[in-house]
Chain A
């Protein structure tokens, strides 16, 4: 007799193991190991986390569905009073996984508060995972004992390291270099710039366009940090500025922050910015609203570096009075070979600039003929980013030259 139990059965079981292994990786993906994620950019890691969840769930569902169709007897009774506990655990795990994924995808539609969702997400996912492991231990008769022990030992070690890293090591490292709020500067358009300096003279070496996670008002161990682009010049790593738009609970508190308060930064992260594309003959930036923040960092840095290449900035806003940094942009335009194209949704009477959303016509009017050689950096509301990406593709700009920073990952 061969070791097999029939292809269908073994396939279903292997899918169960594989699905669980994939879901285990999910926890590591959001641990923000900086060195491991830096080469890809952490945003792609988060997207991967989101899509992998859906596909891993499909695999786990396939595991269940195949058994259900091929050997329903193996499932036994679904009544938890009769069914063995590990089978009930498996059923519960499946339901919880579905709930975790559904909640994550429908969070916005359900208007679930972010912090609440984040805690629920972590809790449900961990509970589901623990139940699934229980199910596997009870139902899995596959591995012989030596392999099993090695596998569990390795797995246990993985979890201990991961939890220790996320809960202790990472917050500890962040907590070790506190920053002090030096000033809170109001900008146009309900934006406040948080100026941070390190009391110990520490520096945050970053590339312009990168971002950091900010803990303010709570310690890094509370794990209630928010991501913000660094808006200041990379030539001044000892003085970090974050420009924050009032959008929700946390961002509404920035205006009341007092100089002297302690803040913590975890970063830098991200691959947005010109430093990864140093060879381009010129750069084009497209910002919508607070999407200007990382682009301010790039422009300020380029000015500090004495950049001579031609630059174009398309900057979309609703009304002229709320265009953040417009005065400073004018002075940057004198230090750089920078052309600024403002587009307003609700322009004043005498407005001679662009109107409406930034689209194909606006881009075409202001881009140089050699537009396909330039590198493009987009940051703004997701609909703007999508529309501009489509327009640029239509204008013959290769997709590989278009880089988008999205503020709404989750």
Chain B
């Protein structure tokens, strides 16, 4: 069973190597460590904030620590104007060019939502 044991260790070594490579990849991508900002507290709890959750934005983004921490939109209102925010929120214009087609399609659902303006207000107010 020496061969079986060898195969086991080889498989384990492969898995550990792969996990290590994944860790190196993640470390490199996050290299000059962006200072981990504490999430700014969510500005007000209103219709816009609820729309951010119920339209599924939280699957990919977070604001004030609510949602997916991988893509934080804290302070987005400082960088983008309302037109740009609308484009990114609804997957149109410049965002349609830059986003993968599947994501634009998902964002399209926000286009006709009655809460869209409230959602944009909410994003616009997120300044830090």
Q: A residues engaging B (CB < 8 A)?
A: 1-11, 13-15, 17-18, 21-22, 41, 43-44, 47-48, 50-52, 54-56, 58-59, 62, 70-71, 73-76, 84, 86, 137-138, 141, 385-386, 389, 399-400, 402-404, 406
Contacts and interface: CB of A to CB of B under 8 A. Distances in A.
Given A2-B31, A71-B69, A74-B60, 4 more contacts: A76-B58, A84-B59, A137-B102, A386-B1
Nearest to B61: A73
Contact of B27 (A7, A56, A389): A7
* For the complex of A and B, 3 pairs with smallest distance between CB atoms: A4-B30, A47-B7, A55-B15
Given A2-B32, A70-B69, A73-B59, A389 B15 contact: no
Given A18-B19, A59-B18, A47 B3 contact: yes
Nearest to A53: B11
By secondary structure, the B interface counts as helix
Contacts of A86: 102
A5 B29 CA distance: 8
Nearest to A143: B100
A3 B29 CA distance: 6
Contact of B70 (A9, A21, A62): A9
Contacts of B3: 41, 43-44, 47, 404
Interface string B77-103: 000000000000000000000001011
A78 to B, nearest CB: 12
B2 A399 contact: yes
A401 to B, nearest CB: 10
A286 to B, nearest CB: 14
B22 interface: yes
Contact of B7 (A2, A22, A44, A62): A44
B66 A11 contact: no
B8 A4 contact: no
B38 interface: no
B30 A14 contact: no
A389 B29 contact: no
A10 B30 contact: yes
Contact of A2 (B8, B10, B14, B30): B30
Contacts of A73: 58-59, 62, 66-68
Given A3-B29, A9-B70, A10-B26, A59 B11 contact: no
A141 B100 contact: yes
Contacts of B41: none
For B8, B30, B31, B34, which residue has the most chain A Cβ atoms within 10 angstroms? B30
For B4, B21, B103, which residue has the most chain A Cβ atoms within 10 angstroms? B4
Nearest to B59: A76
A137 B100 CA distance: 10
Contacts of B50: none
Contacts of B34: 1-2, 4
B59 A5 contact: no
Contacts of B4: 44, 47, 406
B7 A10 contact: no
A21 B29 CA distance: 20
Contact of A389 (B1, B7, B58, B67): B1
Nearest to A14: B22
B19 A402 contact: no
Contacts of A71: 62, 67-70
B27 A74 contact: no
Contacts of A389: 1-2
For B6, B27, B68, which residue has the most chain A Cβ atoms within 10 angstroms? B68
